[in-house]
Amino acid sequence: MNLTLDFAGKTVVVVGGTSGINRGVAEGFAAAGAKVAVASRNPEKVADTVKALEAAGAEVAMGTSFDVRDPVGVAEGLASFQAKLGDFDVLVSGAAGNFPALMSEMSNNAFKTVVDIDLMGTVHVMKAAYPFLRRPGASVISISAPQAYLPCEGQVHVCAAKAGVDQITRTLAMEWGHEGIRINSVVPGFIEETEGAERLAPTDEAKAATMAAIPLNRFGTKADIAGMCLFLSSPLASYVSGTVIAVDGALYQGGLGMLSQQLGTMLRQVAGR
Ligand code: NAP
Ligand code: COA
């Protein structure tokens, strides 16, 4: 068995791959020699990431801008990747939006915005990528979140949206498995130096309380998530599909209790409830 994770000659597309965890994933595939394409809304972030991917060792790096809420833009963007790089060996769908807010203080549009980005964005990406996925052999990964299966105060919109993302993973594993396409969700825990982590635990006090809920006693790194995505897309994982894999230092074993209470208390104080 070849145990080296060599992605030379492979085409890897990372949607939402221009910052944080997803950019770490894109850079991981670049370092393994892949042809890597990234997309997100901000063209400056895209351009900066393409340069970083080249520096990291990508055989080819490219990028484009679109909003995952726009199915036409997503379809055009993914078609431009396929035209230049060929069919996709790996697709990572990770674009997401999050802000802490209580349901009682959130407009319908606020809830819908997160569902539109996280859940409908996933639908748009999956549907647009489907014709371009290599058969057999493609590895599709959705970047999910613990909120998909752990309720958390101040996160009702994310809980609902990411639960939907994981059910898409499980269902498409059945529909697409017949064509030799594998699909899995990767669930990052609390990943240091990321926008998501800063939004949910912005203070040292909040970070310390969150740390107390992580049995492995450290925050996750972008490299931890990249490693799981590389593994899932390698021959080592050729019989793994339809799974939701937590990379979270066992955070979920204790639930989101501490983080949930913290967010709920903080948000109720602000709302005067
Ligand atoms: P981040 O740095 O804000 O990354 C989000 C990425 O998605 C960026 O590249 C952003 O680029 C893009 N994006 C956002 N909205 C988009 C839209 N409407 N259309 C297209 N692209 C869009 O956040 P992160 O904290 O690293 O989170 C990355 C993923 O990990 C998310 O799926 C999140 O739910 C998941 N996650 C994070 C944590 C954590 O600890 N951070 C924990 C669990 C799960 P533009 O601004 O250019 O659009
Ligand atoms: N609390 C309550 N409501 C909020 C909010 C908050 N902190 N932030 C935004 N909203 C509401 C807005 O008021 C608006 O509702 P309204 O029309 O009823 O007033 C709705 O959400 C949409 O906000 P808007 O700013 O127009 O959305 P956008 O499409 O420009 O941006 C977000 C999307 C809000 C998710 C933005 O935070 C974003 O782009 N996030 C991407 C990065 C990120 O979240 N990273 C973390 C990891 S997922």
Tell me, what CATH number does 136's domain have?
Answer: 3.40.50.720
Among the atoms of ligand 1, which is closest to the Cα of residue 192? 40
Q: Which residues constitute the domain of residue 211?
A: 11-271
Q: Is the pLDDT of residue 38 over 90?
A: yes
| Distance from C-alpha of 63 to C-alpha of 3, rounded to nearest angstrom | 30
Residue nearest to atom 18 of ligand 1 (CA): 67
Nearest to 263 by CA among 155, 135, 108: 155
Identify whether 1 is part of a domain. no
Nearest to 35 by CA among 55, 54, 16: 54
Question: pLDDT > 90: what percent of the chain?
Answer: 90
Q: What is the predicted pLDDT for the residue at 212?
A: 87
Identify whether 122 is part of a domain. yes
CA of residue 206 to ligand 1 center, whole Å = 21
Per residue in 66-116, pLDDT (tens digit) is 999 999 999 999 999 999 999 999 999 999 999 999 999 999 999 999 999
Q: What is the predicted pLDDT for the residue at 262?
A: 83
Average confidence score pLDDT of the chain: 96
Per residue in 169-193, pLDDT (tens digit) is 999 999 999 999 999 999 999 999 9
24-35: average pLDDT: 98
Q: At what angle do helices 121-129 and 156-177 cross, to 10 degrees?
A: 20
Cα 120 from chain centre: 14
Phi/psi at 224 (nearest 5 deg)?
Answer: -60, -40
Q: Is the CB of 74 under 6 A from ligand 1?
A: no
Ligand nearest to the CA of 92: 1
Q: What is the predicted pLDDT for the residue at 52?
A: 98
45-64: average pLDDT: 98
Q: Which H or E element spans position 167?
A: helix 156-177
Helix/strand/coil (H/E/C) assignment for every residue in 225-245: HHHHHHHHCCHHHCCCCCCEE
Identify whether 141 is part of a domain. yes
Other beta carbons less than 10 A from residue 174's beta carbon: 11
Identify whether 20 is part of a domain. yes
Give the HSE-up count for residue 134: Cα atoms under 13 Å, Cβ half-sphere.
Answer: 17
Q: Which H or E element spans position 36?
A: strand 35-40
Q: Is the CB of 45 under 6 A from ligand 1?
A: yes
Identify whether 55 is part of a domain. yes
CA of residue 271 to ligand 2 center, whole Å = 18
Q: Is the pLDDT of residue 2 over 50?
A: no
Identify whether 5 is part of a domain. no
Identify whether 117 is part of a domain. yes
207-222: average pLDDT: 93
The full length of the chain comes to 273
Give the HSE-up count for residue 10: Cα atoms under 13 Å, Cβ half-sphere.
Answer: 25
Contact 122, 77 (CB under 8 A): no
Contact 16, 40 (CB under 8 A): yes
Contact 29, 14 (CB under 8 A): yes
Identify whether 2 is part of a domain. no
Nearest to 139 by CA among 4, 12, 9, 5: 12
Q: Which H or E element spans position 88?
A: none
CA of residue 15 to ligand 2 center, whole Å = 19
Residue nearest to atom 20 of ligand 2 (CA): 110
Q: What is the predicted pLDDT for the residue at 70?
A: 99
Show the DSSP H helices in 178-221 as ranges: 195-200, 204-211
Q: What is the predicted pLDDT for the residue at 18?
A: 99
Contact 153, 253 (CB under 8 A): no
Residue nearest to atom 38 of ligand 1 (CA): 196
Q: Is the CB of 68 under 6 A from ligand 1?
A: yes
Among the atoms of ligand 1, which is closest to the Cα of residue 18? 9
Q: Which H or E element spans position 250?
A: none
Number of domains making up the chain? 1
Phi/psi at 245 (nearest 5 deg)?
Answer: -105, 120
Ligand nearest to the CA of 143: 1
